[in-house]
């Protein structure tokens, strides 16, 4: 039996496979078994790296590639997601915060697309990374691939960690899978968030009306489990500045969860935050909001901090990136308006 979960998320790029060995299965090495089961989706080398990173488990215990499978063994393996569509390296300016032989941490500006795709075939972060690195993690066929283990939306700014080697990539993916990566965001949302702090627990699914967006599932047996913690940093009456911490990393998670509790991200066009949602419709107020939209014309969301364990030194790594200029100016404008 094979249960397969491709985790489609905003912050995590890994896949999770689960197998139950058939009662009549003959004994063999687990790397051979997994290579047969996964086929062209992976290689023996990638399976080897997964084992080295404790990403292969049998009955909830990590095993090495030499392990001989037994009937009814429950096998799980976590792997970085397959490579993005074929693309050519391009020069894209990269704001690198930290770099060593295993990984880099960079600050992604708002407006930069992470993966090439429909409507965005050039000038993406992936292509910029391909240009920048001399040696990249290898995918099947000995072709280079960027070592992305998580991502953020095009119009979200902030911190990303990128692996330089396949083993570093697998080890970092495991940390995301185990939810031990620390990620905090700063966001400006519509309305006065009443509680100073809180937690949103709500499954997220694709919208049945628009496949490009997501919504909270009305049935808690459907969708992907998602948890967001928030804390009020500053109040502006008709808007609130929040710090948000992700416990999971689903696609659009913060944007969907905040809309769900009635506090859509400011200027978030996709989820309706680019129109006046709170406040009296006076001419002065309308003009103020329009000026705000001109200052920050994208969702007011920034990946502010990132913490993880270095995959080789085991040192705790922690990074903090100040708000970009558009969000700084937006917040200052709200401060002055509410004085």
Domain ranges of the chain: 2-80, 183-304+319-338
Give the CATH H-level superfamily of domain 2-80. Answer: RNA-binding S4 domain (3.10.290.10)
Whole-angstrom distance, CA of residue 9 vs CA of residue 115 = 13
Is residue 241 a contact partner of residue 188, using CB atoms and an 8 Å limit?
Answer: yes
Q: How confident is the model at residue 145 (pLDDT cuts 50, 70, 90)?
A: low
Per residue in 150-175, pLDDT (tens digit) is: 889 999 999 999 998 888 888 998 89
Query: Identical fold at 2-80 and 183-304+319-338?
Result: no
* Unique residue bearing structure tokens 């990269």: 94
Q: How confident is the model at residue 46 (pLDDT cuts 50, 70, 90)?
A: confident
Q: How confident is the model at residue 179 (pLDDT cuts 50, 70, 90)?
A: confident
One-character DSSP codes across 268-323: -TTTTTTS--SS---HHHHHHHHHHHHH--S--EEEEEEEEE-TTT--EEEEE-PP
Q: How confident is the model at residue 82 (pLDDT cuts 50, 70, 90)?
A: low
Rounded to 5 degrees, φ, ψ at 88 are -95, 145
* Dihedral sign computed on CA atoms, order 250, 251, 253, 256: negative
Q: How confident is the model at residue 8 (pLDDT cuts 50, 70, 90)?
A: very low
Asked whether residue 330 carries a pLDDT value surpassing 90, the answer given is yes
> What pLDDT was estimated at residue 84?
57
Asked whether residue 140 carries a pLDDT value surpassing 60, the answer given is no
Whole-angstrom distance, CA of residue 10 vs CA of residue 159 = 13
Element (H, E) at 6: strand 2-6
Known catalytic residue at 219: no
H-type alpha helices, the chain: 30-38, 44-52, 125-132, 166-177, 253-260, 283-295, 325-338
> What pLDDT was estimated at residue 143?
40
Average the pLDDT over 205-234 and give the result: 91
> What pLDDT was estimated at residue 44?
81
Tokens representing 190 are 């519509």
> What pLDDT was estimated at residue 54?
87
Q: Residue 89 carries which DSSP code? A: -
Task: Identify the CA nearest to 235 among candidates 288, 290, 299, 278.
Answer: 278
Per residue in 102-137, pLDDT (tens digit) is: 999 999 999 999 877 666 668 889 889 888 875 455
Rounded to 5 degrees, φ, ψ at 314 are 65, 15
Average the pLDDT over 6-21 and give the result: 65
Mean pLDDT of the chain: 88
Average the pLDDT over 72-76 and give the result: 93
> What pLDDT was estimated at residue 177?
83
Asked whether residue 201 carries a pLDDT value surpassing 90, the answer given is yes
> What pLDDT was estimated at residue 5?
42
Whole-angstrom distance, CA of residue 212 vs CA of residue 119 = 14
Tokens representing 166 are 């396949």
The three-state secondary structure class of 253 is helix
183-304+319-338 maps to CATH 3.30.2350.10: yes
Asked whether residue 142 carries a pLDDT value surpassing 60, the answer given is no
Count of CA atoms in the C-beta half-sphere (13 A) of 301: 28
Q: How confident is the model at residue 286 (pLDDT cuts 50, 70, 90)?
A: very high
Of 153, 268, 274, 326, the active-site residue reads 153
Average the pLDDT over 65-75 and give the result: 93
- Helical packing angle, 283-295 and 325-338, nearest 10°: 160
């Amino acid at each position: 039996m094979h249960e397969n979960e491709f985790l489609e998320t905003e912050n995590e790029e890994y896949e999770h496979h689960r197998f139950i060995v058939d009662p009549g299965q003959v004994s063999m090495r687990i790397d051979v078994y997994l290579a047969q089961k996964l086929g062209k989706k992976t290689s023996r080398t990638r399976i080897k790296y997964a084992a080295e990173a404790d990403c292969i488990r049998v009955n909830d215990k990590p095993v090495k590639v030499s392990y001989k499978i037994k009937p009814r063994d429950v096998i799980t393996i976590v792997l970085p997601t397959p490579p993005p569509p074929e693309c050519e390296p391009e020069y894209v300016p990269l704001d690198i915060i930290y770099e060593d032989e295993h990984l880099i941490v960079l600050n992604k500006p708002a407006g930069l697309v992470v993966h090439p795709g429909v409507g965005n075939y050039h000038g993406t972060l992936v292509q910029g990374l391909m240009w920048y690195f001399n040696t990249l993690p290898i995918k099947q066929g000995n072709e280079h691939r960027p070592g992305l283990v998580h991502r953020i939306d095009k119009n979200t700014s902030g911190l990303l960690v990128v692996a330089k080697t396949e083993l570093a990539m697998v080890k970092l993916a495991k940390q995301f899978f185990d939810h031990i990566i620390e990620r905090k965001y700063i966001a400006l949302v519509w309305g006065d968030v009443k509680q100073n702090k809180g937690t949103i627990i709500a499954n997220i699914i694709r919208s049945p009306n628009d496949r490009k967006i997501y919504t909270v599932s009305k049935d808690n047996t459907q969708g992907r489990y998602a948890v967001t913690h928030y804390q009020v940093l500053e109040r502006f009456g008709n808007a609130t500045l929040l710090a948000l911490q992700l416990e999971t990393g689903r696609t659009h998670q913060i944007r969907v969860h905040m809309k769900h509790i009635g506090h859509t991200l400011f200027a978030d066009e996709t989820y309706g935050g680019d129109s006046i949602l709170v406040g009296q419709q006076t001419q002065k107020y309308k003009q103020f909001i329009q000026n705000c939209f001109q200052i920050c014309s994208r969702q007011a969301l920034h990946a502010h901090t990132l913490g993880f364990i270095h995959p080789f030194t085991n040192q705790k790594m922690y990074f903090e990136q100040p708000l970009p200029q558009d969000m700084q100016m937006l917040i200052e404008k709200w401060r002055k308006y509410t004085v």
